[in-house]
Amino acid sequence: STNLKEVLSKKIPAHNAKIKEFRTQHNSTIVQNVTIDMIYGGMRSMKGMVTETSVLDHEEGIRFRGYSIPECQKLLPKAEGGEQPIPEAIWWLLCTGDIPTKAQADAITKDWNARAALPAHVLRLLDVLPESLHPMKQFVAAVAALNSESKFADAYTRGVPKVSYWEYAYEDSMNLLAQLPSVAAIIYSNLFRNGSVVGVVDSNKDWSANFCNLLGFNDPIFSELMRLYLVIHADHEGGNVSAHACHLVGSALSDPYLSYSAAIAGLAGPLHGLANQETLVFLSKIVADLGHGYTEDQLGDWVRKHLHSGQVVPGYGHAVLRKTDARYECQRQFALKHLPNDDLFRLVSTLYKITPNILLEQGKAKNPWPNVDAHSGVLLTHFGLTEMNYYTVLFGVSRALGCLSQLIWARGMGLPLERPKSHSTEGLIKLAAAA
């Protein structure tokens, strides 16, 4: 079938039957001991959530429903004449666990294009927000305000049975995904193009090509970059700040709009999604100080000085990964193909050569290798999207694919309100003494 909802209506009960059997056998099985270090350490490596859509391996990187990024690039349907998978295809994969056919991916395109219109109050809201309000914060506000349209909230108020919650989460998620490019493009136009009119969604174009056109970019290679960008940022298992925030808020049966606005509020933090903006600021400072005629030694001294001033190297390190991020690597491949002589790409490549050793020498970061955010800004800048404080909005458009597919499943699986136990330090001292 090319009808995603119909496919899910079969998959969800089958998966629930599997979970029921598994839990009957293993509900009391112990999988880990929790240490005091984990409790104070931001719950690093504590196994505490179930997320079906993707799993992160600390060495090889993300796998979306079991498929690595290179596998997705090879197997997922592409746009006409394109080489990169279309995000509609990863949405199908994240939702179902199956590689879609071209017809299935195209059905998503058609569905999203039909759902893209924005309610008038959101357009008015975006028009009155001040220029001084960072694009990410405008994005958070607009997504929260879209909640007036929530089918989920309406169904809950009507008292629909719990087993059908996922169907309303699905409708809201599909609507929100369809609307996100327009919301993001209006923010871009208001802040960086003097509010020039944002075009309308073209029913013959895919989600990414439409998004690029709404932003005012017509280069087909930029659309390819956008497809790659929107696919690789989609999901990074469940414990990262954006995915976890979405899951947590959704577990209170807040609707998908509210849950996703919480996710992007988290993504707006400099240790999470804002790092792609921070990376470009970092690169710009290097260029301002050294130009493009630096030696590796000069660059190394600059990075050391930056670290000694107490700042992090944005785009390096990760809470889970311990190798170069696969998402960095595929962007590097894209750059090697399309912009090998770009000055900023050369700077990013040289930093890749020297920064891991400098971080190792400093001896603090558990992972000295680059993450996704070390690369994305350079690619966007090359194609003329130079407004770096907008970059995290693009990340936010993409991350909806992962957060919302998992949210549909969370409601389908009937996952409960999330409510871990917390203790005061006094309480932990007593617990530790008694252990």
Say which amino acid occupies 214.
L
Least separation in angstroms between CB 316 and ligand AMX:
4
Which stretches does DSSP call E strand in 80-192?
A: none
Does 112 help bind ligand AMX (rule: CB under 6 A)?
no
Q: What are phi and psi of 351, to 5 degrees?
A: -60, -35
314 vs 412, beta carbon nearer ligand AMX: 314
Give residue 342's region: left, alpha or beta (phi > 0; psi -120 to 50).
beta
Rule CB under 6 A: say whether 303 interacts with ligand AMX.
Answer: no
Among 139, 170, 373, 377, binds ligand AMX (CB under 6 A): 373
CB of 71 to ligand AMX, least distance (A): 22
Residue whose CB is less far from ligand AMX, 151 or 304: 304
Do 336 and 390 meet the contact criterion of CB atoms below 8 Å apart?
Answer: no
Q: Which of 111, 134, 373, 382 is catalytic?
A: 373
CB of 124 to ligand AMX, least distance (A): 32
Alpha helices of 27-119 — where are they, by DSSP H? 36-40, 69-75, 87-96, 102-114
Q: How many residues bind ligand AMX (CB under 6 A)?
A: 21
165, two tokens: 């919650």
Known catalytic membership, residue 272: yes
270-292 residues labelled b (16+ CB within 10 A) or e (exposed): eebbbbbbbbbebbeebeeeeee
**Closer of 283 and 307 to ligand AMX (Cβ):** 307
DSSP type of residue 316: B
Among 254, 371, 405, 406, which residue interacts with ligand AMX (rule: CB under 6 A)?
371
Helices (H) and strands (E) in the chain, counts: 20, 3
Is 318 assigned a catalytic role? yes
| 198 vs 15: CA distance, rounded Å | 42
Q: Which of 173, 135, 34 is CA-nearest to residue 393?
A: 135
Contacts (CB under 6 A) with ligand AMX, residues 237-296 = 240, 271-273, 275
Shortest Cβ 272–ligand AMX spacing (Å): 4
Q: Does 393 bind ligand AMX (CB under 6 A)?
A: no
Helices (H), 268-375: 275-290, 296-308, 326-338, 343-362
Q: From the list 95, 319, 380, 388, which residue makes contact with ligand AMX (rule: CB under 6 A)?
A: 319
Q: Which is nearer to ligand AMX, 193 or 304 (CB)?
A: 304
Q: Which is nearer to ligand AMX, 377 or 412 (CB)?
A: 377
Task: Give the binding site for ligand AMX (CB under 6 A).
Answer: 240, 271-273, 275, 307, 312-319, 364-367, 371-373
Residues marked active site are found at 272, 318, 373
